[in-house]
Amino acid sequence: MSAQVASPASPASPVSTRRYRFATEVVTVDNKDDPYNAASVPIYQSATFKQKGANAEGEYDYSRSGNPTRTHLENHLAKIMGAKRALAVTSGMSALDVITRLVKNGEEIIAGDDLYGGTNRLLSFLHKSQGIKTHHIDTTNSDAILPYLDPHKTRLVLLETPTNPLIKIADIPTIAAHVHEKCPNALVVVDNTMMSPYLQRPLELGADISYHSGTKYLSGHHDLMAGVIGAKEDSVADQLYYVINATGCGLGPFDCWLLLRGVKTLAVRMDKQQATARRVSQFLEDRGLKVHYPGSRNHPQYELHSRISSGPGAVLSFETGDIGISERIVEGTKLWGISVSFGCVNSLISMPCKMSHASIPAHVRAERSLPEDLIRLCVGIEDADDLLEDLDTALINSGCLLIGDKLEKLSLEQQS
């Protein structure tokens, strides 16, 4: 791929339209041009590609600009995301960094007030380093954005839905319609990491760009870092590609290969993880805990989420009302690994305020009503009964008392 231009005719451009259902398309990687009919796309572990002559540049010259393994991955991702073109970069944060480079000095971003800690950090950094302001709004209220939309300033509207970690839902079609009506030059960007393209399809719901931390569900095994950007229009994809080549954050061949391998099992992994997550959510609600999960009919936006997605996914969070109890629950589990991140085949447990969201200053977390005792669960593919038994033991041993079916906090006297 030429290093000089963001070529619309680059090998990453042609995208076949989806012909089969998702579970079929995701496992069907187009490799028909392979000279040896290799069943798995090879890893082109090469930084450079030779030319036949000084004026005879081939399809690829340098892996920062393009690499055949990356092209296969990007074409496959574009197909499953319903994107005109997809681009693979070194992490989810790198994907957001590339996207925010479309914002010029003096322009503004609008984002949610519940969002991944690293995203908040990057937006704060943009403000400090370049004066690019972000307005944080409540994305559960589709009209909350209206006073902030400015056709001369608004460049990006960034939605996480469900949000990390409070699992709030944004009405993508309604918000996108507001944005496009009032600010024709603004781009609606959806972080679709928690859902994956299997469960939610932002580009079909009105977004201009959808991006993912490929570190999570797309790869599924926590063995690589990656970011994926899908654009609805070639003109936007060309600008993003230009930034990727200019800054050198394209994903390396081995990680492209790992991601291409991992993504094939996305649908089966997600089905299993989601089925168990539904049980975990019910189990916690039955014990009287406040659970945040869009698969629960008690979630305030259950109907909305059911309209814009085809499932609730496998990340949920819950409150205990007491930081000490939460710590004991997290540390009392054996099967649930204490770890940041989600989307892995192994189940994980964490306390966002101490881990993934610790970079958000405590007073900002408080202003945004992020509970310090919140526990986040990322449900894996283990046996569901084992996971529930492990959680049950940790709950009982945490200082909670089971009264009937409900957990009650033990008084200090009772604990001693």
Ligand X SMILES: N[C@@H](CCSC[C@H](N)C(=O)O)C(=O)O
Ligand Y SMILES: Cc1ncc(COP(=O)(O)O)c(C=O)c1O
Residues of the shown chain interacting with ligand X in the complex, contacts defined by CB under 6 A:
116, 118, 164, 340-341, 356, 359
Question: Shortest Cβ distance from residue 280 to ligand X (Å)?
Answer: 17
Residues recorded for the chain: 416
Alpha carbon distance 263, 271 (integer Å): 14
Question: Shortest Cβ distance from residue 313 to ligand X (Å)?
Answer: 14
Tell me the per-residue interface mask from 114 to 153 with ligand Y, x by CB under 6 A, - otherwise.
--x-xx----------------------------------
Query: Is 160 an interacting residue with respect to ligand Y (CB under 6 A)?
Result: yes
Q: Quick one: which of 134, 213, 226 has its CA closest to 378?
A: 213
Q: Which member of 191, 208, 255, 390 binds ligand Y (CB under 6 A)?
A: 191
Question: Shortest Cβ distance from residue 223 to ligand Y (Å)?
Answer: 13
269 is known as an active-site residue: no
383 is known as an active-site residue: no
The smaller minimum CB distance to ligand X, of residues 63 and 356, is found at: 356
64 is known as an active-site residue: yes
The smaller minimum CB distance to ligand Y, of residues 119 and 281, is found at: 119
Q: Which member of 139, 140, 215, 326 binds ligand Y (CB under 6 A)?
A: 215
116 is known as an active-site residue: yes
The smaller minimum CB distance to ligand Y, of residues 149 and 157, is found at: 157
Number of CB atoms found within 10 A of residue 303's CB: 11
Which tokens in the block code for residue 82? Answer: 């319903």
Query: Is 200 an interacting residue with respect to ligand Y (CB under 6 A)?
Result: no
Query: Is 213 an interacting residue with respect to ligand Y (CB under 6 A)?
Result: yes
The smaller minimum CB distance to ligand Y, of residues 73 and 325, is found at: 73
The smaller minimum CB distance to ligand Y, of residues 191 and 208, is found at: 191
Could you list the active site residues? 64, 116, 191, 216
Binding site residues, ligand Y, CB under 6 A: 91-93, 116, 118-119, 160, 164, 191, 193-194, 213, 215, 225, 227
